[in-house]
Structure 1
Amino acid sequence: MEGWTRKNGHVLAELSQQEAAVIRGLVGQLKDMLTARADEAPQDELAELTGIRTGPTTPPEDRVLARLLPDFYRRDPITGETDEEESDAAGAMRSLHEPGLLEAKTGAAALVLETCPPMGGRVKLTGEQADGWLAAINDVRLALGTALDVDEDMPDDVPDDDMRREHLGVYQWLTWVQDSLVGALMA
């Protein structure tokens, strides 16, 4: 891949078969994780009648999913809430907002899987589709970075015996893909 370009209102890239396989594989895994979380939503008769979706009230136990689905409520130190009040508010906010966030994230992942050619080749996106790609690539980077314990202090080149070495190369490549896509969208 030489990078994303913008031409005649479309965002374009040429992916090798291996690049397409990496993107499709990681985005597919991400979509599966998010779909499994969505399936954990409680069945609520009132929600079915009103059409208001509800989700789990507790954060995911998996740290990768917890990074992708952060808390929707932060304690206000001025109000002096108790831990129980804070927990109830956080659970209510999560229950109300997580279904929409999951829908957006799985939708972006599905878009990438629909528009990324399985055998590699040309990708031609509208601006809206490019935004979806950007969201999905960002989520994959967040997930992979969390799994690999990537932080600001990590050197660009880790020792040969570091088991994360090969995966960090993929993380860095995805960072470049994301940066290139942002550049094309801003052009």
Structure 2
Amino acid sequence: MSGLFEAVPGGGAAVALDEVEISILRSLAVQLLELVGPGDLPVEGEDPLATLFAEGPSEPPADPALARLFPDAYGGPDAKPDDEARALSSEFRRYTENDLRARKRDDAVAVIRSLDALTVAGDGGAVLKLGPDESRQWLGALNDLRLAIGARLEVTDEDSDELYRLPDSDPRKPMVMAYLWLGGLQESLVETLLS
């Protein structure tokens, strides 16, 4: 295996990872969980369905990484929304963000659990094998990680070539390397799922 996802019989995917890669992926998934937040648990003694039907926030997050993970539904990322677009986005967010956050948490937890279940061989590596459903959860988590890191790095489409030329002395270099590596994993997983 080449360190990128490859197809396995039955519609899943597999990737060879070393201990450092496993540690980095796990750490990033835990940080994603912390960023997205714990979610609302039913209050003791209250109807658990009340949490299920609770309304979410109506304002976009102030944190740029969260704003990238939970963008406004109306208007583009660079557009200055008018009052109507702002009202529509607010209404949409109120009814969808809690579910979206829950899905992102579930995807990150799936990554952590699958990494924790790996048995590292004597050479320090392991092969991660995912079924079709796990592959989709991994794809969601990899996408979320790249979006969050890209927001932290303030990456734009115009910056992509510049990222490859950062000097080793640049303090952003480790996060840029993680961002690019996650992009390769994500692309290979997409290709695997489409094959």
Q: What does residue 28 of structure 1 align with?
A: 30
Against the structure 1 CA distance between its residues 14 and 92, is the aligned structure 2 distance closer, same or farther, given a 3 Å change threshold? same
The 1:69/1:47 distance shift into structure 2, 3 A limit, reads farther
Matched, 1:179 2:184: no
Distance in structure 2 (CA, Å) of the matches to 1:95 and 1:175: 31
Please tell me whether the aligned partners of residues 138 and 178 of structure 1 are also in contact (alpha carbons under 8 angstroms). Answer: yes
Structure 1 residues 86 and 151 mapped into 2: Cα distance closer, same or farther (>3 Å)? closer
Unaligned runs of at least 5 residues, structure 1: 40-44, 76-80
Confirm or deny: 8 A CA contact 1:145 1:171 kept in the other structure: yes
* C-alpha spacing 1:8/1:165, structure 2 compared with 1 (3 Å): same
How far the C-alpha of 1:49 sits from its partner, in A, is 4.6
Q: Match of 2:176?
A: 168
Paired residue for 2:92?
93
Residue correspondences, number? 175
Q: What is the alpha-carbon distance in structure 2 between the residues aligned to residue 151 and residue 98 of structure 1?
A: 25
Identical-residue share of aligned pairs (%) = 32
The residue type equivalent to 1:27 in the other structure is A
**Hey, what does 2:43 align to over in structure 1?**
none
**Equivalent residue in structure 1 for 2:143, among 138, 162, 167:** 138
RMSD: 2.6
Alignment TM-score, normalising by the size of structure 2: 0.79
Letter in 1 for 2:8: K
Whether 2:12 is the aligned partner of 1:7: answer no
Bigger mean CA deviation after superposition, 60-69 or 120-129: 120-129
Bigger shift: residues 54-63 or 154-163? 154-163
In 2, distance between residues paired with 1:121 and 1:50?
40
Change (3 A) 1:7 1:51: closer
How do residues 25-64 of structure 1 correspond to structure 2 at under 5 angstroms? Answer: 25-36=27-38, 38-39=39-40, 49=50, 51-64=52-65
| Structure 1 counterpart of 2:152 | 147
| Residues 166 and 173, structure 2, Cα contact 8 Å, conserved in 1 | yes
Residue 122 of structure 1 aligns to a residue whose secondary structure is: strand
Instruction: Please state whether the residue corresponding to 2:181 is helix, strand or coil.
Output: helix
Equivalents in 2 of 1:95, 1:142: separation in Å? 22
Q: 1:101 to 1:49 in 2, by over 3 A?
A: closer
Gaps of 5+ in 2: 41-45
